[in-house]
């Protein structure tokens, strides 16, 4: 099953709970996939910034994924303690992501 395709916008991040996912990078890398195993995140950036998928993810075996939507994260920020921790993490994540490009 296809989870997402390169070039599509998203507000969702995926945590692989069980099984695995084949991730294919940008078109020039499509011949080879990267195995993404349980305990890994895909598209976490979508929780912290505007995100467009740069690859395609496909499940070829039975897998369980937790889908986290940015709107749910934003709703959790109504709780003061959560807001402070999440805001600090989001700033650090954004900084590291933009510096890596």
Structure tokens at 43: 């598209």
**Residue 45's domain spans which residues?**
2-100
Q: Indicate the number of domains in the chain.
A: 1
Confidence band of 39 (pLDDT split at 50, 70, 90): very high
Closest CA to 69 of 1, 10, 7: 10
Please give the pLDDT value at position 26.
75
Mean pLDDT for the stretch of residues 22-30: 77
Question: The domain spanning residue 75 has which CATH number?
Answer: 2.60.120.10
User: Residue 48 in contact with residue 93, Cβ under 8 Å?
Assistant: yes
Residue 73 CB burial class (10 angstroms; 0-12, 13-18, ≥19): middle
Please tell me the predicted confidence (pLDDT) of residue 2. Answer: 92
pTM above 0.75, yes or no: yes
> For residue 25, what pLDDT band results from cuts at 50, 70 and 90?
confident
Cβ proximity of 12 and 43 under 8 Å: yes
């Amino acid at each position: 099953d296809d989870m997402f395709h390169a070039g599509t916008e998203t507000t969702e991040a995926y945590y692989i709970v069980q099984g695995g996912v084949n991730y294919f990078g940008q078109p020039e890398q499509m011949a080879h996939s990267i195995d993404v195993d349980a305990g890994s995140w895909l598209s976490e950036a979508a929780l912290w910034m505007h995100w467009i998928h740069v690859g395609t993810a496909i499940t070829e075996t039975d897998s369980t994924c937790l889908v986290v939507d940015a709107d749910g994260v934003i709703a959790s920020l109504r709780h003061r303690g959560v807001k402070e921790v999440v805001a600090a993490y989001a700033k650090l994540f954004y900084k590291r992501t933009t510096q890596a490009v």
